[in-house]
Amino acid sequence: MKRIHVKIFGKVQGVGFRFSTKMMAKTLGIKGWIRNCEDGSVEAVFEGKESSVEKILEWCKRGPPLARVDGVEVKEEKYEGEFRNFEIRF
């Protein structure tokens, strides 16, 4: 099992990034959260099977059709298993 904390930069707010990521997380069995940041980026924590976490990370590097991803910061963290689902935080 794996956990990563990511911050995604570019045109990632107002383009359905959080909703699309939630749908992708559900498909992959990923738990965690995603939220908009005041600086215009999007921040998320993903927990799940290593292969699923790698797939959602690759997806985040592209994002939904209207997004433009300029960069992704990734920090691997200790797996906690603390989440029961994947949620959009406000």
Q: Which active-site residues does the annotation give?
A: 18, 36
Distances (CA, A) of 34 to 16, 78: 12, 18
Residue 7: is it exposed, middle or buried by C-beta count within 10 angstroms (0-12/13-18/19+)? middle
Residue showing tokens 């949620």:
87
List phi, psi (to 5°) of 76.
-80, 135
Q: Cβ of 40: how many Cβ atoms within 10 Å? A: 12
